[in-house]
Amino acid sequence: MSSEQTGELAQAVHAFFDRTEKALPYYVPAMPSMVVAIIATLIVFTQGLASVLEDKSENVKSKDPLKKFRWIIMLAVLLAVCAMLYDFVQEKVYNISMIALNKQHIANLHWIRQYKKSMRGPVGSVIG
């Protein structure tokens, strides 16, 4: 095998792997979406915690046990809301990042499905 043939083969292999890499999906790290979700959750948590602590200080000397310990229920609801908010924001930000980075791959999948459908033939035909 001459050096010229080796060079052409190397170029062909390089072109193959370059095109294959462009067709495959890219890895999307989860850390950026987790950071955005944590920041959003902390903002909501600090605002809610201010309301909970205000309610606690206003009703600390109350004779009514429901008013006296209402802040605990408020804190539990706040924590539940923050947990749901974190999951929601993290999932949405991750999905947006994944779609933005893998637009070409998603489009390729769509057209491959369309091609596969067209190869089946019409519904009810003997071909499909």
- What does the pLDDT profile of the chain (128 residues) look like in tens digits? 666 677 788 888 888 888 887 777 888 999 999 999 999 999 999 999 999 999 999 988 888 888 889 999 999 999 999 999 999 999 999 999 999 988 888 887 888 888 888 877 666 655 54
Residues 82 and 75 sit within 8 Å (Cβ to Cβ): no
106-123: b (≥16 Cβ within 10 Å) or e: eeeeeeeeeeeeeeeeee
In this prediction the pTM is 0.70
Q: In the structure encoding, which two tokens stand for residue 3, read together? A: 């050096």
CA torsion 54-59-60-64 (nearest 10°) is -150
